Amino acid sequence: MSLYLFLPTAAQRVQVEEFKQAFQQAGEDTINGSCGLTRFSCYGDWLFYLERVRQGREPDRVPSFTFLAGDGKQLVGIIDIRLQLTQAHYYSGHIGYSVRPDCRGRGIGTELLRLGLEKARKLGLGRVMLSCQENNLASRKIIETNGGRLSERAVWEGAPLLVFWISLSDGNQLSSQ
Protein backbone atom coordinates (compact mmCIF):
# COMPACT_ATOMS: atom_id res chain seq x y z
CA MET A 1 0.00 0.00 0.00
CA SER A 2 1.42 3.37 -0.94
CA LEU A 3 0.17 5.70 1.75
CA TYR A 4 1.94 8.94 2.60
CA LEU A 5 1.51 11.62 5.25
CA PHE A 6 1.74 15.36 4.72
CA LEU A 7 0.85 18.55 6.55
CA PRO A 8 -2.36 20.24 5.37
CA THR A 9 -1.98 23.38 3.26
CA ALA A 10 -4.38 25.65 1.41
CA ALA A 11 -3.90 23.43 -1.66
CA GLN A 12 -5.88 20.56 -0.07
CA ARG A 13 -9.04 22.54 0.71
CA VAL A 14 -11.27 20.66 -1.75
CA GLN A 15 -9.92 17.23 -0.77
CA VAL A 16 -10.33 17.97 2.95
CA GLU A 17 -13.91 19.15 2.39
CA GLU A 18 -14.63 15.88 0.52
CA PHE A 19 -12.98 13.92 3.34
CA LYS A 20 -15.12 15.74 5.91
CA GLN A 21 -18.25 15.12 3.81
CA ALA A 22 -17.56 11.38 3.71
CA PHE A 23 -17.84 11.28 7.52
CA GLN A 24 -21.04 13.33 7.48
CA GLN A 25 -22.58 11.04 4.86
CA ALA A 26 -21.68 8.03 7.04
CA GLY A 27 -23.51 9.68 9.97
CA GLU A 28 -20.31 10.31 11.92
CA ASP A 29 -20.04 13.72 13.54
CA THR A 30 -16.55 13.22 14.97
CA ILE A 31 -13.30 12.76 13.08
CA ASN A 32 -10.75 11.52 15.60
CA GLY A 33 -7.24 12.87 15.10
CA SER A 34 -8.41 15.88 13.08
CA CYS A 35 -7.69 18.55 15.69
CA GLY A 36 -11.28 19.74 15.57
CA LEU A 37 -11.85 19.80 11.80
CA THR A 38 -15.63 19.40 12.18
CA ARG A 39 -15.83 22.56 14.33
CA PHE A 40 -14.67 24.77 11.47
CA SER A 41 -16.85 25.78 8.54
CA CYS A 42 -13.95 27.67 6.95
CA TYR A 43 -10.92 25.61 5.91
CA GLY A 44 -8.60 28.59 6.34
CA ASP A 45 -9.70 28.98 9.96
CA TRP A 46 -8.83 25.32 10.61
CA LEU A 47 -5.37 25.79 9.05
CA PHE A 48 -4.81 28.86 11.23
CA TYR A 49 -5.88 26.88 14.30
CA LEU A 50 -3.53 23.99 13.40
CA GLU A 51 -0.60 26.40 13.21
CA ARG A 52 -1.47 27.88 16.63
CA VAL A 53 -1.68 24.35 18.08
CA ARG A 54 1.68 23.38 16.54
CA GLN A 55 3.23 26.46 18.14
CA GLY A 56 1.65 25.72 21.54
CA ARG A 57 -0.36 28.94 21.39
CA GLU A 58 -3.84 27.48 21.74
CA PRO A 59 -5.25 27.36 25.30
CA ASP A 60 -6.24 23.92 26.61
CA ARG A 61 -4.30 22.17 23.82
CA VAL A 62 -0.86 20.61 23.88
CA PRO A 63 1.39 21.17 20.87
CA SER A 64 0.58 18.68 18.13
CA PHE A 65 1.03 17.99 14.45
CA THR A 66 -1.91 16.97 12.29
CA PHE A 67 -1.10 15.06 9.11
CA LEU A 68 -3.32 14.11 6.20
CA ALA A 69 -2.93 10.67 4.62
CA GLY A 70 -3.21 10.19 0.88
CA ASP A 71 -3.11 7.14 -1.35
CA GLY A 72 -2.39 9.02 -4.59
CA LYS A 73 -6.07 9.37 -5.47
CA GLN A 74 -7.78 10.85 -2.42
CA LEU A 75 -7.41 11.62 1.26
CA VAL A 76 -7.99 8.38 3.13
CA GLY A 77 -7.03 9.29 6.69
CA ILE A 78 -5.92 11.85 9.21
CA ILE A 79 -3.67 11.55 12.26
CA ASP A 80 -2.80 13.94 15.08
CA ILE A 81 0.40 13.48 17.09
CA ARG A 82 0.36 15.26 20.44
CA LEU A 83 3.80 15.96 21.85
CA GLN A 84 2.82 15.52 25.49
CA LEU A 85 0.03 14.29 27.72
CA THR A 86 -1.79 16.34 30.32
CA GLN A 87 -3.79 15.07 33.23
CA ALA A 88 -6.94 16.72 31.90
CA HIS A 89 -6.66 15.05 28.50
CA TYR A 90 -4.62 11.99 29.42
CA TYR A 91 -6.97 9.45 27.87
CA SER A 92 -6.86 11.23 24.50
CA GLY A 93 -3.33 9.82 24.22
CA HIS A 94 -0.43 10.97 22.12
CA ILE A 95 -2.03 9.89 18.86
CA GLY A 96 -5.54 10.05 17.46
CA TYR A 97 -6.47 8.97 13.95
CA SER A 98 -9.37 8.28 11.62
CA VAL A 99 -9.80 6.46 8.34
CA ARG A 100 -12.30 7.73 5.80
CA PRO A 101 -15.47 5.61 6.31
CA ASP A 102 -15.62 4.31 2.72
CA CYS A 103 -11.95 3.25 2.91
CA ARG A 104 -12.11 1.13 6.07
CA GLY A 105 -11.31 -2.56 6.15
CA ARG A 106 -8.42 -2.28 3.67
CA GLY A 107 -5.46 -2.03 6.06
CA ILE A 108 -5.25 1.75 5.81
CA GLY A 109 -5.60 2.24 9.58
CA THR A 110 -2.67 -0.08 10.30
CA GLU A 111 -0.45 1.70 7.77
CA LEU A 112 -1.66 5.13 8.92
CA LEU A 113 -0.66 4.39 12.50
CA ARG A 114 2.67 2.86 11.41
CA LEU A 115 3.53 6.04 9.50
CA GLY A 116 2.31 8.15 12.42
CA LEU A 117 4.61 6.27 14.79
CA GLU A 118 7.54 7.05 12.48
CA LYS A 119 6.59 10.74 12.59
CA ALA A 120 6.25 10.60 16.40
CA ARG A 121 9.75 9.12 16.66
CA LYS A 122 11.12 11.90 14.42
CA LEU A 123 9.34 14.45 16.61
CA GLY A 124 11.32 13.14 19.59
CA LEU A 125 8.82 10.89 21.35
CA GLY A 126 10.31 7.74 22.90
CA ARG A 127 7.02 6.06 23.62
CA VAL A 128 3.41 6.90 23.00
CA MET A 129 0.08 6.16 24.61
CA LEU A 130 -3.01 5.43 22.55
CA SER A 131 -6.48 4.56 23.69
CA CYS A 132 -9.63 3.22 22.12
CA GLN A 133 -13.09 2.38 23.30
CA GLU A 134 -13.28 -1.19 24.52
CA ASN A 135 -15.84 -2.14 21.87
CA ASN A 136 -13.75 -0.72 18.99
CA LEU A 137 -12.18 -4.01 17.90
CA ALA A 138 -10.79 -2.57 14.64
CA SER A 139 -8.84 0.16 16.45
CA ARG A 140 -7.63 -2.31 19.07
CA LYS A 141 -6.29 -4.59 16.33
CA ILE A 142 -4.58 -1.65 14.56
CA ILE A 143 -2.87 -0.57 17.80
CA GLU A 144 -1.79 -4.10 18.73
CA THR A 145 -0.50 -4.81 15.21
CA ASN A 146 1.71 -1.72 15.58
CA GLY A 147 3.20 -2.97 18.88
CA GLY A 148 0.66 -1.64 21.37
CA ARG A 149 0.65 -3.32 24.74
CA LEU A 150 -2.46 -3.05 26.88
CA SER A 151 -1.58 -1.29 30.12
CA GLU A 152 -4.94 -0.48 31.70
CA ARG A 153 -8.68 -0.44 31.39
CA ALA A 154 -10.42 2.78 32.34
CA VAL A 155 -13.70 4.62 32.03
CA TRP A 156 -13.53 8.04 30.38
CA GLU A 157 -16.52 10.23 29.64
CA GLY A 158 -18.73 7.27 30.54
CA ALA A 159 -17.18 4.84 28.05
CA PRO A 160 -15.01 1.78 28.83
CA LEU A 161 -11.55 2.46 27.43
CA LEU A 162 -8.42 0.44 26.71
CA VAL A 163 -5.04 2.15 27.15
CA PHE A 164 -1.97 0.99 25.21
CA TRP A 165 1.69 2.02 25.17
CA ILE A 166 4.07 1.65 22.23
CA SER A 167 7.82 2.06 22.58
CA LEU A 168 9.43 3.98 19.73
CA SER A 169 13.02 3.86 20.91
CA ASP A 170 14.18 0.29 20.59
CA GLY A 171 11.39 -1.91 19.28
CA ASN A 172 10.50 -3.18 22.78
CA GLN A 173 7.04 -2.20 23.86
CA LEU A 174 6.76 -0.55 27.25
CA SER A 175 3.79 -0.40 29.50
CA SER A 176 3.08 2.57 31.73
CA GLN A 177 4.42 2.24 35.22
Residue 169 has pLDDT above 50, yes or no: yes
Give the percent of the chain with pLDDT over 90.
90
What angle (nearest 5°) sits at the alpha carbon of residue 47, between those of residues 45 and 53?
105
Return d(Cα 131, Cα 69) in angstroms, integer: 20
Query: Tens digits of per-residue pLDDT, 122-140?
Result: 999 999 999 999 999 999 9
Q: How confident is the model at residue 53 (pLDDT cuts 50, 70, 90)?
A: very high
List C-alpha distances in Å: 135 to 28, 141, 159, 161, 162: 17, 11, 9, 8, 9
Return d(Cα 32, Cα 45) in angstroms, integer: 18
Rounded to the nearest 10 degrees, the angle between the axes of helix 43-54 and helix 13-25 is 100
Confirm whether pTM is higher than 0.85. Answer: yes
Task: Answer for the pair 117, 127: CB distance below 8 angstroms, yes or no.
Answer: no
